[in-house]
Amino acid sequence: MRMRTAVGIVGAGPAGLMLSHLLHRRGIESVVVESRSRESIEATIRAGVLEQGTVDLMVETGIGERLRREGFVHHGTELRFGGRGHRINFYELTGGRVVTVYAQHEVLKDLIQARLNDGGRILFEHRATAIEDATGERPAIRLTGPDGRPETLECDFVAGCDGFHGIGRATIPEAARREYLRVYPFGWFGILAKAPPSSDELIYARHERGFALISTRSPEVQRMYFQCDPSDSVENWSDDRIWEELQARTEGQGFRLREGAIFQKGIVPMRSFVCETMRHGRLFLAGDAAHIVPPTGAKGLNLAVNDVFLLARAIGSHYATGSPELLDGYPAAALRRIWRAQHFSWWMTSMLHRFADASEFDDRRQLAELELITTSLPAATVLAQNYVGMPLG
Ligand code: FAD
Ligand code: DHB
């Protein structure tokens, strides 16, 4: 079977679905190809913090209604170290910018619903097996549908929005791309628990036993993480052991986490990764297909949204004016923000995690850095501005 569209998009994550949504608003047709089922995508727990720019884009493009109703606006965050909490006031330090806690799979539900309401096509349970003729005039995506039959999607452009393990990046010949990678010697153990919130704002805690993060999902469900061995297994962690570890890492000033039944556990590895370039002929990469950040700065989803904001504008400009200028400039434009977020995510990770080979000097230097961030206005402003993010584009 052969199909044809203007933009063939591989992957129905935040990057692929948002790109399809933004293209539709410019009157450009697309088809999204996704190997997983709708149910599986809408149930996968991942990121939770939306930058101001991501929220603004969702609201401005008509998909922000539930986000406005159910998202939690946070005006600041707490850095906890040495047994004390220190507040960073985003709102004051950035001239009124804030973040919103709203889970990634809720964003995906809103995007999928909007695409379907607008007559958009998402081919769930269709795996892209190859991208052909990326450097020609008529690239094509080869697919396998749920019945195992091969299909072909011909397009003007292909967007590789298929995450770190997808085929988009692998389609760019090795000689034409350069990859930068740092693997961290720890991972994050993440849980969801049925419990009331322990804090009005997120807590990023640095402790001798390692990093911990207290986040939220709703008044009834809390999201928490703690630094762990990336090769550890969730089976080694009983609920009691998890609570003991989280309590120890957030202790001080009489603070106690409110505990509850843990109903989801998982371990994610931590790496920093960038692929340059993000373009090969008519194939463009966006989101995790081109870059990964460690989650400490909450940038992964937001970077994916910035990429496709730029890409939709560039493709729109191509169809509207015939000019290749924005398409040619896409990798450089996207990479500026990507490297800013790479630095910020690495910095937050380095400042808050325990490294097994850290010397006593390293420990004291780390604490001195946290003291600086929480007592100097210019230093706190750097953190706040990076955390809430610059306007898109
Ligand atoms: P993805 O969301 O990965 O979407 C890619 C899609 O492409 C997937 O649905 C996949 O099924 C599909 N696909 C892949 N290959 C094919 C193919 N051949 N054919 C068809 N479809 C294909 N970030 C944070 O900021 N904070 C967090 O706490 C956090 N937690 C995370 C936890 C996990 C387990 C993971 C994996 C990531 C986490 N992230 C987090 C990062 C954040 O979720 C990502 O940056 C974000 O999902 C990137 O969106 P994306 O659309 O680029 O890629
Ligand atoms: C969440 C995830 C993050 O990576 C982060 O830095 C803050 C919050 C979350 O899942 O809520």
Burial of 2 (0-12, 13-18, 19+ CB in 10 A): exposed
Quick one: average pLDDT of 246-267? Answer: 97
Strands 283-285 and 150-160: parallel
In a domain, residue 81? The reply is no
In a domain, residue 295? The reply is yes
In a domain, residue 114? The reply is yes
Ligand 2 pocket, residue 384 CB under 6 Å: no
In a domain, residue 154? The reply is yes
How far apart, in Å, are the Cα atoms of 171 and each of 30, 86, 282, 327? Answer: 20, 47, 11, 18
In a domain, residue 235? The reply is no
Ligand index nearest the alpha carbon of residue 40: 1
- Domain residues for the domain of 132 are 2-58+101-180+272-348
1 confidence band (pLDDT: 50, 70, 90): confident
| pLDDT, tens digit, 9 for 90 and up, residues 177-200 | 999 999 999 999 999 999 999 999
Q: Which atom of ligand 1 is nearest to the CA of 225?
A: 28
Scan for tokens 């096509």, then name that residue: 121
Q: Given a cut of 90, is residue 323 above it in pLDDT?
A: yes
Distance CA(55)–CA(299), nearest Å, equals 13
pTM over 0.85: yes
Q: Check residue 195 and give its pLDDT.
A: 98
CATH code: domain of residue 295: 3.50.50.60
In a domain, residue 358? The reply is no
| pLDDT, tens digit, 9 for 90 and up, residues 78-119 | 999 999 999 999 999 999 999 999 999 999 999 999 999 999
In a domain, residue 259? The reply is no
State which amino acid sits at residue 17: L
In a domain, residue 262? The reply is no
282 confidence band (pLDDT: 50, 70, 90): very high
Residue of 126, 207, 291, 299 with catalytic role: 299
332 confidence band (pLDDT: 50, 70, 90): very high
pLDDT over 70 for what percent of the chain? 100
Domain count, the chain: 1
330 confidence band (pLDDT: 50, 70, 90): very high
69 confidence band (pLDDT: 50, 70, 90): very high
